[in-house]
């Protein structure tokens, strides 16, 4: 029997991650493109187009790494002029974190791992 998805477990670790200086937003999306959890430091934005785009991006990265015989995707980074979006995959879920330019992504490793632990428990 499949475990029932309880997304309320994601609320606290996502909130704690976004409270860190330099972290703007974090989201968890299913591989099928459903938004599972979201936290944002700034004003609420329209998120409906985000989920399918992220799911498509993750599938594309997986295909590229297999074609290039580079193994499995662990992380995808997208740099912008004002920061970076880091994408991690865990089973059927995709985890995104948007950070400001100059932020060391390893500085938020503990908070990222807490979110990943909850994601793993949802599998």
- According to DSSP, residue 1 is labeled -
The whole-angstrom separation of Cα 92 and Cα 30 is 6
C-alpha to C-alpha distance for 63 and 22, rounded to whole angstroms: 31
31 to 19, 95, 98, 106, 109: CA distances (angstroms): 26, 10, 19, 25, 23
How much is the pTM? 0.81
- Fold of the CATH domain 8-122: Beta-Lactamase (3.30.450)
CA distance linking residue 95 with residue 115, whole number of Å: 8
Q: For the chain, what are the domain ranges?
A: 8-122
- Confidence check: pLDDT of 1 > 60: no
Write the pLDDT tens digit of every residue in 3-46: 555 678 889 999 999 999 999 989 998 888 888 888 887 665 65
């Amino acid at each position: 029997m499949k475990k029932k998805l309880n997304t309320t477990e994601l609320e606290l670790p996502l909130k704690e991650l976004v409270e860190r200086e330099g972290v703007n937003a974090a989201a968890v999306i299913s591989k099928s493109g459903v938004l599972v959890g979201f936290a944002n430091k700034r004003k609420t934005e329209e998120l409906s187009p985000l989920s399918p785009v992220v799911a498509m991006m993750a599938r594309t990265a997986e295909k590229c790494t297999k074609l290039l015989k580079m193994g499995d995707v662990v992380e995808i980074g997208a740099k912008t002029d004002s920061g970076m979006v880091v994408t991690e995959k865990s089973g059927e879920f995709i985890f995104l974190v948007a950070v400001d330019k100059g932020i060391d992504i390893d500085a938020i490793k503990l908070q990222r791992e807490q979110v990943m632990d909850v994601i793993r428990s949802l599998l």
